[in-house]
Amino acid sequence: WTKGKTALLGDAAHATVPFYGQGMNASFEDCTVLYELMLKHNENWQAVFKEYQETRKKDGDAIQDLSLHNYYVMRDYVGDPMFLLQKKIEAKLMAKYPEKWMPLYSQVTFSNIPYSTAWEVGQKQDAIMKKVMDKPTINDIWDSEEIEREILSLIS
């Protein structure tokens, strides 16, 4: 934003690679945040735009990180049996414990969780899943209570 008169919204503010399909959603979120700030600051544009930038910057950065991450996932992992097993484990966790585990893609696509929060939680979940997937017998024990308890113990 500049001089309390002009702010970039939508794709103009979130130039990113197109690998997460969130361009329109990010634009709608910009409009929602801007509207809420207009109400909060009684259309004091200097205050509105200042807080808008502070609020949206971290989410704009996060959508870029998410988009690049998704590109690498699509390029390198979608056909990998271990990746598919990981997604099966994550789906089971979400079905049983939706308040404790929501996969990154679901956070971004099917919730109102801010991009920056989803990215942060997704990174933590990825670290947990790396530990679990490194088990030599994971193919045999993935559906066990042992694995479920271990994952739940690692969620903070």
Instruction: Output the pLDDT for position 72.
Output: 93
Residue 2 has pLDDT above 80, yes or no: no
The DSSP result for 60-71, as a single string, is HHHHHHHHHHHH
133 vs 112, higher pLDDT: 133
Instruction: Output the pLDDT for position 6.
Output: 83
Model confidence over 71-124: pLDDT tens digits? 999 999 999 999 999 999 999 999 999 999 999 999 999 998 999 999 999 999
The upper half-sphere exposure of residue 66, i.e. CA atoms within 13 Å in the direction of its Cβ, equals: 29
Residue 150 has pLDDT above 80, yes or no: yes
Question: What whole-number distance in Å separates Cα of residue 91 and Cα of residue 127?
Answer: 17
pTM for the model: 0.87
The rounded percent of the chain whose pLDDT value lies above 70 is 100
Model confidence over 11-21: pLDDT tens digits? 778 777 888 88
The rounded percent of the chain whose pLDDT value lies above 90 is 78
Question: What whole-number distance in Å separates Cα of residue 45 and Cα of residue 9?
Answer: 15
Question: What whole-number distance in Å separates Cα of residue 52 and Cα of residue 77?
Answer: 36
Mean pLDDT, the chain, whole residue set:
92
Instruction: Output the pLDDT for position 10.
Output: 80
120 vs 156, higher pLDDT: 120
